[in-house]
């Protein structure tokens, strides 16, 4: 506790609802984030922050460094994982005893400066603004490696979901622009996620007025190259909504021998081709006594801008309220119904976006510099992947599908009393903590069972 905090200590606090209760601030070094020691242990096992650190050059002179770059990255990532999404939060968390234990590379580091406090907000602002543009793709490659190195066996197929999202802006950020579809001033990030692992393989910040498909092939290409380089016999399938339907995307899939299912916006030609199936749906509905009807079909179609025709799967739904017709372009073989239902499951990737934006607060892009905001977005994505890797390695049913809010409550947000003796640092948890068994099971998985068996450094 700092001297200022000691001066402001109110002493004993008495409560009128029960006169036998008194409170004070003399409990010793206590942290509300006891799960940090699990995060640090897992980080040590897979060298996650060491891997991020290898992506970024540190131009600072070694003699004048108070906080190692790897420690800064670990502190920022752990803060995001624990729900402290703003760099400003570091001003108070730098005094937290458990953050200090979890972040430092050594229990006590002696240098020209001796510092126990962690980095504060200005230090993180300098870090964010000194990361160079050419280092950002390297961090995205690291995200792809998160997936590749975590796979013990080559998968039969990899399903990549592509989607964009809006990130409203509220200040004078570079390339913050108005987007007509969303009706707001914003950034327009693009995400590439993998279906089975639920990992982010790439996240790309774009100007607010960027089209959904802008630069998508350029962003996707390095990810596909990395996957094909490691898993030579693995089938790669792309799932995208209609915003990504473009001649460039179809030509790229043909060139790289990729499978795809892509939504296609309706037009007069498609409506004309699907009219016989619509008539069939209407007739079936008349005989169904008001029960909704769904039929699926497929046909060949070539838009004027496409270099070749594609198979179009159409879904027609008829009920007493409306008629709904949707189209999907694909080069997959199989029944129309199976392909369309596979396409609709792409909504799962929106859960990844929702968790990144709301659970990990990835919308905190308030720097003026565009590339500083890009780096911030990547840090939030790294925090997401770190927790996703931990979650998948535990094999604990109660946590297998847990989103970050539940994960924090059940594993990370627990009061801990830190006591230092001559030979050991003790972290004492409450003996009545209801999730203590999950903590112990997680500890055993990480340490005794040695999971996972890979390193990201």
Final residue of a structural domain among 333, 349, 366:
333
Calpha distance 71→74 (Å, rounded): 5
Question: pLDDT digits over 214-260, tens only?
Answer: 999 999 999 999 999 999 999 999 999 999 999 999 999 999 999 99
* Assigned domain for 93 exists: yes
SS3 of residue 9 by DSSP: coil
Task: Identify whether residues 325 and 408 lie together within a single domain.
Answer: no
* Assigned domain for 182 exists: no
Task: Identify whether residues 325 and 405 lie together within a single domain.
Answer: no
* Assigned domain for 201 exists: no
Question: pLDDT digits over 104-132, tens only?
Answer: 886 544 443 444 789 999 999 999 999 99
Would you state the structure tokens that stand for residue 255, as one six-digit string? 């060139």
* Mean pLDDT to the nearest integer, 447-456: 80
> In sequence order, what DSSP letters do the residues of 308-347 get, joined into one string?
S-EEEEEEEEE-SS-EEEEEEEE---S-HHHHHHHHHGGG
CATH code at 294? 3.30.1300
* Assigned domain for 324 exists: yes
* Assigned domain for 288 exists: yes
Task: Say how many domains are in the chain.
Answer: 2
- List for the chain the helix, strand, coil content (%; round to 5): 45, 20, 40
* Assigned domain for 5 exists: no
- Minimum mean pLDDT range among 12-21, 198-207, 270-279, 317-326: 12-21
Q: What is the dihedral of CA 277, 279, 280, 286, to 10 degrees?
A: 150
Calpha distance 53→64 (Å, rounded): 18
* Assigned domain for 185 exists: no
State the residue for tokens 């898993």.
Answer: 231
* Mean pLDDT to the nearest integer, 341-370: 93
Task: Identify whether residues 329 and 398 lie together within a single domain.
Answer: no
* Mean pLDDT to the nearest integer, 175-190: 96
Final residue of a structural domain among 317, 333, 349:
333
Does residue 393 carry a pLDDT above 60?
Answer: yes
Question: pLDDT digits over 55-114, tens only?
Answer: 999 999 999 898 999 999 999 999 999 999 999 999 999 999 999 999 988 654 444 344
* Domain around 57: 30-132+382-448
State the residue for tokens 């509220």.
Answer: 170
**CA–CA distance from 116 to each of 66, 82, 99, 109 (Å)?**
10, 21, 11, 9
pTM: 0.93
Cis before 186? omega within 30: no
pLDDT of the residue at 9: 59
pLDDT of the residue at 174: 96
* Assigned domain for 223 exists: no
Residue of 192, 128, 141 lying closest to 164 (CA atoms): 192
Task: Identify whether residues 317 and 389 lie together within a single domain.
Answer: no
* Mean pLDDT to the nearest integer, 354-370: 94
Q: Helices 36-46 and 370-394 meet at what angle, rounded to 10?
A: 90
């Amino acid at each position: 506790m700092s001297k200022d905090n000691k001066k402001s200590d109110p002493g004993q606090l008495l409560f009128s609802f029960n006169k036998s209760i008194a409170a004070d601030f003399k409990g010793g070094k206590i942290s509300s984030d006891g799960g940090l020691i699990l995060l640090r242990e897992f980080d040590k096992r897979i060298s996650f922050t060491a891997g991020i650190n290898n992506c970024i050059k540190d131009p600072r002179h070694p003699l004048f460094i108070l906080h190692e770059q790897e420690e800064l990255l670990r502190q920022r990532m752990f803060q995001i994982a624990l729900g402290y999404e703003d760099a400003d939060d570091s001003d108070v968390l730098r005094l937290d005893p458990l953050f200090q234990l979890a972040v430092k590379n050594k229990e006590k580091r002696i240098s020209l400066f001796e510092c126990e406090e962690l980095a504060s907000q200005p230090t993180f602002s300098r870090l964010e603004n000194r990361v160079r543009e050419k280092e950002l793709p390297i961090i995205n490659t690291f995200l792809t490696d998160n997936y590749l190195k975590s796979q013990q066996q080559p998968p039969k197929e990899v399903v990549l979901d592509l989607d964009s999202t809006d990130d409203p802006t509220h200040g004078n950020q570079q390339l913050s622009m108005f987007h007509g579809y969303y009706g707001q001033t914003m950034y327009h990030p693009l995400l590439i996620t993998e279906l089975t692992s639920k990992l982010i393989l790439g996240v790309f910040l774009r100007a607010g007025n960027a089209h959904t498909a802008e630069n998508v092939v350029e962003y996707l290409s390095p990810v596909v190259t990395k996957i094909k380089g490691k898993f030579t016999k693995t089938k790669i399938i792309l799932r995208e909504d209609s915003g990504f339907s473009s001649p460039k995307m179809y030509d790229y899939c043909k060139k790289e021998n990729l499978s795809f299912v892509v939504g296609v916006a309706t037009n007069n030609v498609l409506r004309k081709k699907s009219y016989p199936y619509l008539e069939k749906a209407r007739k079936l509905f008349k005989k169904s006594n008001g029960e909704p009807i769904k039929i699926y079909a497929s046909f060949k179609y070539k838009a004027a801008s496409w270099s070749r025709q594609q198979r179009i799967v159409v879904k027609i739904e008829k009920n007493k309220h409306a008629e709904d017709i949707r189209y999907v372009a694909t080069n997959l073989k199989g029944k129309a119904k199976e392909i369309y239902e596979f396409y609709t499951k792409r909504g799962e990737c929106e859960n990844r976006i929702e968790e990144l934006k709301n659970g990990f607060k990835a919308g905190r892009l308030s720097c003026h510099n565009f590339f500083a905001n890009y780096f911030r977005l990547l840090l939030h994505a790294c925090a997401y992947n770190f927790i996703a890797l931990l979650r998948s390695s535990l094999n604990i049913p109660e946590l297998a599908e847990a989103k970050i809010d539940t994960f924090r409550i059940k594993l990370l947000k627990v009061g801990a009393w830190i006591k230092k003796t001559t030979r050991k640092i003790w972290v004492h948890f409450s003996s009545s903590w209801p999730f203590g068994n999950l903590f112990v099971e997680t500890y055993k998985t990480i340490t005794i069972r040695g999971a996972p068996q890979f390193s990201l450094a």
